[in-house]
Every structure is written in structure tokens, then in C-alpha cells.
């Protein structure tokens, strides 16, 4: 579908809400948060991209940046007043693609841009640091469960590197984890914005038994030259052909709803945000709609 080129995701820091939770990283982790304005019955955990921070995406989702919302249109939190949003900050770690410099990163990346090799044979990601970050997201999920939100009312998502992480977290089993949880942790859904399927061979061997039944929203711009559109296409094809995950146009149904945004670069846009909101309205609706 047609979409404006969008706005780059790296937006300056405005404010931050500190949130402490257990993790394999010894320092305090932080998250930006959008609190629900109605009774809290669902949670979205959204991971930013390489070099970014959670506050950037809090601003996008909250509607503070007009580039992502049509005039007069309700913000995503207004459409989903029962949803709490958590935007965790990635740990600072060395990134090979950035000449070994330390920066916010969910896992080490070996090269940028990300272009697919034949049969997705290129390896871009470090397994150990990705597994550590899957555990970070798992810890956030566990905190929400302890607060009374069932896993069936929790969505994980992310942009770029965060999208790859969310795919591993939401569709992966215990092989992705530093402690057991994944084979029993079926979530309400997964969202992937400008992301890709990480570590093809390991992803296939670590898939969760329920992966085919998880709804996935996947959006990608056709003009992306950082995470190439072809890589997203090949990732989705692999998940369909090798792992049996269905591809369809039905919003919120089990399997992958893949949306292309013509002319959009490595960014998001108004139409993608509207499509994301529609997906969330389907998989984590207001409780009254389920009765």
C-alpha cells in the first residue's frame, strides 16, 4: 500500500520512567511507559531499534509526533485505553557493525545494511547476546503476569532489531531462553516493524510448539536500505514454507499478516501506525468486547 516515506525512528530523548526488573545485566534497566487510562487489562512490550531508546517510541505511539498520525485521528492509546505500553531500553554493549563501539543494542550485529544472502544464509546476529535480551523481555512479561495480566493479554513487538528480538521471544521456545519458560508462554500476538527473522537455522530448531497459532503483524517499507525489504520477504516465506506458519490478509488471525508500505524507508508512517492499532484492537480488545 502507498505510504509516505515516514520519519526516521531515532528521535531525541524527552523523558524517561525508570522501572527495575530482574535481568542478566547487573545495572538498572529503564523503560518508558504509557499508562492505561481505563482499567488495565492488557500490555504491549515494544523494543526499539539499534542505537535508539524506548522514549522515542513512547512519543510515536502516544501521538506526540504528527508525522505518525492523521489530523483529527485518535491516538493509539486513545483507541486502546485499557492497554499499558512498556518501551524498555536496550543494554549498552559493543556492536561489531559500529566498529566495536558501545551503544544501545539488544544483540551484537555483525554488519549493516542487512541484505539477504541466498537462502537466508547470511548471519547478522550474535546468539548469546540475543538470548540474553530474550530473557530481558521475558522478565518484563513475568512482571506483567505477576501484576495480574495473563500472557494471553500480552503482546510483544519491536522496530528493526527490536522486531527481530520480538519474533524470537514471541514465536520461540525454550531454546531461545537462558531459563525455561518459552514452550509454555503463548502470547496474544507479536508485532514486527521493519524487522527480520534472526538466525535462520537456530530459529527453525527453537520454534515454539504453538507458533502457528500466534497472530503476527509484520510491516515493512519497500524503500528500506538498512533492513532490506527482500530480507523481510524471504523471512516471511521461510516461516511459511519451512515452519508451516500461514500468511494471510485477515487482521488478528493466527499466522502472519504481512503489510508492505510503498516508498517507505527504514521508518514508520501514519498508515502503518493505523494498521498496528487495528491489529492490537483485534488481539487484545477491551474485555467487554469478549463477553
The three grid cell numbers given for residue 129, joined into one nine-digit string: 547476546
Query: Are the C-beta atoms of 30 and 17 separated by less than 8 Å?
Result: yes
Q: Please give the backbone phi and psi of residue 252, each rounded to the nearest 5 degrees, phi first.
A: 85, 0
d(CA 124, CA 56): 24
CB hemisphere CA count around 270 (13 angstroms)? 12
Q: Please give the backbone phi and psi of residue 90, each rounded to the nearest 5 degrees, phi first.
A: -70, 155
* Active-site residue, 138 included: no
* Geometric angle at alpha carbon 230, from 123 and 101, rounded to 5°: 45
d(CA 283, CA 253): 8
Single out the catalytic residue among 23, 266, 268, 275. 266
CB hemisphere CA count around 261 (13 angstroms)? 25
Q: How many CB atoms lie within 10 A of CB 37?
A: 12
d(CA 49, CA 162): 5
* Active-site residue, 266 included: yes
Single out the catalytic residue among 160, 166, 194, 268. 160
The three grid cell numbers given for residue 94, joined into one nine-digit string: 559493543
What is the three-class DSSP state of 262? strand
Query: Are the C-beta atoms of 49 and 57 separated by less than 8 Å?
Result: no
Q: Check residue 176 and give left, alpha or beta (phi > 0: left; psi -120 to 50: alpha).
A: alpha
* Active-site residue, 220 included: no
Single out the catalytic residue among 108, 126, 138, 224. 224
Enumerate the active-site residues. Answer: 160, 224, 266
Amino acid at each position: 500500500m502507498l505510504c509516505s516515506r515516514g520519519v526516521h525512528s531515532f528521535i531525541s530523548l524527552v523523558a524517561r520512567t525508570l522501572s527495575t526488573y530482574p535481568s542478566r545485566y547487573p545495572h538498572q534497566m529503564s523503560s518508558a511507559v504509557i499508562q492505561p487510562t481505563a482499567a488495565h487489562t492488557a500490555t504491549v512490550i515494544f523494543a526499539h531499534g539499534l542505537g535508539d531508546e524506548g522514549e522515542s517510541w513512547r512519543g510515536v505511539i502516544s501521538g506526540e509526533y504528527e508525522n505518525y498520525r492523521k489530523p483529527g485521528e485518535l491516538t493509539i492509546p486513545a483507541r486502546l485505553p485499557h492497554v499499558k505500553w512498556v518501551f524498555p531500553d536496550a543494554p549498552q554493549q559493543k556492536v561489531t557493525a559500529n566498529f566495536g563501539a558501545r551503544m544501545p543494542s539488544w544483540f551484537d550485529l555483525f554488519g549493516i545494511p542487512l541484505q539477504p544472502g541466498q537462502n537466508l544464509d547470511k548471519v547478522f546476529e550474535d546468539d548469546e547476546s540475543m538470548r540474553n535480551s530474550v530473557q530481558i523481555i521475558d522478565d518484563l512479561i513475568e512482571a506483567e503476569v505477576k501484576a495480574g495480566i495473563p500472557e494471553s493479554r500480552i503482546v510483544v513487538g519491536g522496530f528493526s532489531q527490536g522486531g527481530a528480538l520480538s519474533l524470537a521471544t514471541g514465536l520461540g521456545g525454550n531454546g531461545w531462553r537462558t531459563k525455561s519458560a518459552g514452550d509454555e508462554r503463548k502470547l496474544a500476538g507479536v508485532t514486527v516493524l521493519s524487522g527480520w527473522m534472526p538466525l535462520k537455522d537456530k530459529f527453525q530448531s527453537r520454534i515454539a510448539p504453538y507458533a502457528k497459532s500466534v497472530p503476527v503483524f509484520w510491516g515493512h517499507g519497500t524503500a528500506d536500505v538498512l533492513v532490506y525489504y527482500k530480507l523481510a520477504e524471504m523471512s516471511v516465506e521461510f516461516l511459511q514454507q519451512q515452519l508451516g506458519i500461514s500468511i494471510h490478509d485477515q487482521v488478528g488471525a493466527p499466522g502472519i499478516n504481512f503489510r508492505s508500505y510503498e516508498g517507505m524507508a527504514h521508518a514508520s508512517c501514519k498508515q502503518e501506525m493505523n494498521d498496528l492499532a487495528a491489529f492490537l484492537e483485534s488481539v487484545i480488545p477491551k474485555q467487554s468486547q469478549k463477553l
